[in-house]
Amino acid sequence: MTEALLEPTEQVAHVCVSSGLAHLDRPFDYLVPGDMDGVAPGVRVRVRLAGRLLDGIVLAVDHDRAPGVTLQPLQRLVSEQVVVTEAQVRLASLVAERWAGTLDEVLRWCVPARHAATEKAEPRAWPRVDTGPATHISGALRALDDGRRFLDLVAGGARPRAHWRVAPVTGPGDTDRLGDWRAGIVQAVGAALSSGRGALCCLPTVEAAEELTGLLTDSLGAGTVAVLHADQPVATRWRNYLAVIRGQARVVVGTRSAVLAPLADPGLIVVWDETSDLHDEPRAPYPNTRDVAALRATAEHCALLLAGYSCSTRAAGWLGSGWLAGITTPLPRLRAATARVRAPGDSDLALQRDPLARRVRLPDLAMSTISHGLLSGPVLVAVPRAGDLIRPSCGSCREPIACPVCSGPVKGRRQAGGSTQLTCTWCGHQLEDWRCANCGSTTVRSGVVGAATTAAELGRSFPDITVIDSSGDHIHEAVGDEPALVVATPGAEPAASSGYAAAVILDAVQALARPGLDAVAQTLDHWFHVAARVRSGSEDGRVVIVGPPEDRAVQALIRSDPIGWAGAELAERAEAGFPPAAYAALVDGAAEAVASAAERLAAALAEAELSEEVSVLGPVVDEAPRPGAPAARIVVRCATPLGPRVTPLLKQLRTAHSMRRESGPLRVRINPTGQL
């Protein structure tokens, strides 16, 4: 045996370096110094790369090194605490591959900021979970045959996948809790825990996460739930994350990034309000919580429950293919439990009674519904926009008002004494002493009626009733059961303890006319959320939507059939070649960067023999982009089966842009329905 073979081999750490550069998306090898015994997979380190001292996470430690290559040593072991598990790395790699991202981007998304004092402190004892109360909650999923079947399968250790369409109803009249999504999720979590596995719940907002945490804590015991969201203090979030990765916490509740929490042996992943656009991560690589949850459920062989008052086109596709099972309330039972929904002018008789029902903003049916509802409680009036003067125009000639400095859009607010303050939404310039350049008038009208204007109008119509404007920077969390008019924008609706007596949805046409592939889906989801805040039909709950009764989305609300609407929408997108029925990607950024990317993509598609099967639309250049908005973009479309071949080519665009240090940003988004 030679002397060389007797020499000890130095350990090598393979590190994911947080460089922020797409072309450095690979593990880098470093020598492990002899005094760093704590270096292990998943720990944080500091390394030197290209003269810079950067953070990194160790992916593996072994003796594998290329012959003849001189390696730099690790600069510092930040902590011996493992912050990423092997399962997390595998899943993060899948996410990066699916969304044309880097491993570093995904790990930075899911691993919270470190809090050294919390990490060094003695970990608190994590209470033992008591699953008894959760498994005995009545109603909700247990009130439905398919729901009980789902719970039994999860409790038995199986991994079913289902979409639960929650009934849009609230209040004491919902005796079977068909609209109590919190109770249903607690039941599902209890079923997973009773099988000896953990549960992970993802919600679109911090408020929803806190609501669910409260009920879970009541059912499972104080301190048993690890909550993860960005609004927490750094110490609290890091303490809860450590409890998960150390195997103490078995139940995790959080917002988007919690979908990648290091929960060992998950038995169930739940995504509430899966249609919400708040599940779209705004940072690269721009994944969606629902889609990552489906990816994780498949990779880690656990149950999946998507739930909401409505249904996304993605979930509709999975339901249609049989990949998801549906849990719904039978139609007769649903109609008996929920408030009746009507649209003004929905019949010839209604038009005879009110010939202007389809022309005015507040028709007789809306006003009578408000008056009737105020007899027994608060009434919710939903409007799509906050503010007073939105898209203002000249009061005489209707010429839109634009900023004289940057030509940007203007917003306005009426002042005491009748004057109007106009401010540019782009550059902030105030238009003092404005006068119409077209006709010389100084009068201003609003192109779109906002919440403030609506509240003022209703206050004049109901002078003895309290009017609450919950929008913009003055959002109310809750209202009492006494009569009141609540004007609210999407997401700002206060909770009513016993539910609203009635709700009126205004400006449906304007809401449906918003640009964007998913604009109608998001609008319909909001409408169902409004309806879900109204008391049951047995308590005379009523909902009115002021919009065209023949519109498909309006009909979906009236018939309470979001799944049917989503299925029809998916079929139309399949014909047009839009996601999720087809694969699409958006490449945007600086004009020069997008132009270079388009040339490289054309060459890459030709080399891969995909030019005939993949369409590239653009580049389209915006000559006057909004501040911070991309100046140019291209859209890439193809059949879904070709997606795995096209995504790596799009990732190469980011790599080339980074490697050549080209000026300006370049972003790649896969299936970005909110941006198309």
φ, ψ of residue 403 to 5 degrees: the values are -70, 130
In contact, 43 and 80? CB cutoff 8 Å? yes
DSSP state of 377: S
Q: Is 201 annotated as a binding-site member?
A: no
In contact, 269 and 297? CB cutoff 8 Å? yes
Q: Taking the mean position of all CA atoms in its chain, how far away is CA 632?
A: 25
Residues in the chain: 676
Q: Give the 3-state secondary structure of residue 370.
A: helix
CA atoms of 206 and 308, how far apart (whole Å): 16
β partners of residue 76: 46
Other beta carbons less than 10 A from residue 133's beta carbon: 13
Q: Is 110 annotated as a binding-site member?
A: no
Identity of the amino acid at 579: P
Q: Give the 3-state secondary structure of residue 275.
A: coil
Q: Is 403 annotated as a binding-site member?
A: yes
Q: Taking the mean position of all CA atoms in its chain, how far away is CA 342?
A: 29
DSSP state of 125: P
- Residue with structure tokens 């109901």? 462
Beta-strand pair 44-49/52-62? antiparallel
Closest CA to 369 of 468, 500, 512: 500
DSSP 393-409: EETTT-PBPB-TTT--B
Q: Is 427 annotated as a binding-site member?
A: yes
DSSP state of 273: S
CA atoms of 577 and 571, how far apart (whole Å): 10
Q: Is 424 annotated as a binding-site member?
A: yes
Q: Is 302 annotated as a binding-site member?
A: no
**Annotation: binding site for Zn(2+):** 394, 397, 403, 406, 424, 427, 436, 439
**Annotation: binding site:** 394, 397, 403, 406, 424, 427, 436, 439
